[in-house]
Amino acid sequence: MTFFDVIRNAMLAGFGIQETVKEFIDELVKKGELNKSQGAKLFKEWTEKAGRTSELLNKNISELLTRTLGKMNLPTKEDIEKLRKEIQSLSDRISKIEEIRKEV
């Protein structure tokens, strides 16, 4: 199982838990243990907390990946773009030199 698979499964489990919480709260409303307003408020609070937890998890995963990729010494997108520009500049210079040589 790849890292991507683990993250995907965790997210899908999170969606399943959200549906389970919604069903649980709906059941409490049906039984009269909560009124609709309380149920809606409870679900909203739960989803907000779950959202904050998810954001924190995403931040931690992003930081972990950044550190891991940094240790791997891989070029960044900016590094590659800088090299692409340098190659283009050198290519342009070579073309100009070739044109001058043809004229001579």
pLDDT, tens only, 58-76: 788 888 888 887 889 888 8
> Is 29 found in the same domain as 3?
yes
Tell me the per-residue pLDDT of 23-43, one tens digit each, with 9 for 90 and over. Answer: 888 888 898 988 989 988 988
Q: Please give the Cα distance from 84 to 78 (Å, whole number).
A: 10
One domain, residues 85 and 68: no
Question: Out of 4-8, 14-18, 49-53, 71-75, which region has the weakest mean confidence (pLDDT)?
Answer: 4-8
Higher pLDDT, residue 86 or 57 = 86
Question: Residue 82: is its pLDDT beyond 70?
Answer: yes
Residue 23 has a pLDDT of 84
Total domains present in the chain: 2
Are both 34 and 85 inside the same structural domain?
no
Cα torsion at 69, 13, 59, 66 (round to 10°)?
0
Domain that holds residue 98: 75-104
84/62 same-domain check? no
Give pLDDT, residue 25.
Answer: 85
**96 and 60 belong to one structural domain:** no
66 with 98, same domain? Answer: no
Biggest alpha carbon–alpha carbon distance for the chain: 96
Residues 57 and 91 in one domain: no
Do both 35 and 86 map to the same domain? no
